[in-house]
Amino acid sequence: MMNKDNPLPQNLASDNKTLSPCVRNCCLNEKDICLGCYRHLDEITGWLNFTRLEKIAVLTLCDERRKTK
């Protein structure tokens, strides 16, 4: 749900726990991409310091990686 003060859907405007794509199935491939959530190692380790927009960009990359696996 969006509102005029916050254009992001409610589930994307939440805290770090809600945003994290982690599925607790961590295993990195040869390119340092997690086979559980499809984040790069740098994206995993930097997650807590990312802005909301950076996290959304990472989630988009994760979705692309998942589709092309």
Q: How confident is the model over 16-22, as a mean pLDDT?
A: 71
Long-range contacts of 15-22 (CB under 8 A, 24+ apart): 16/47, 16/48, 19/52, 19/55, 19/59, 20/47, 21/59, 21/62
Identity at 26, one-letter amino acid code: C
Strand partners, 28: 34
The Cα–Cα gap between 14 and 8 comes to 10
pLDDT tens string 26-64: 999 999 999 999 999 999 999 989 988 899 999 999 999
In the predicted structure, residue 9 carries a pLDDT above the cut 70: no
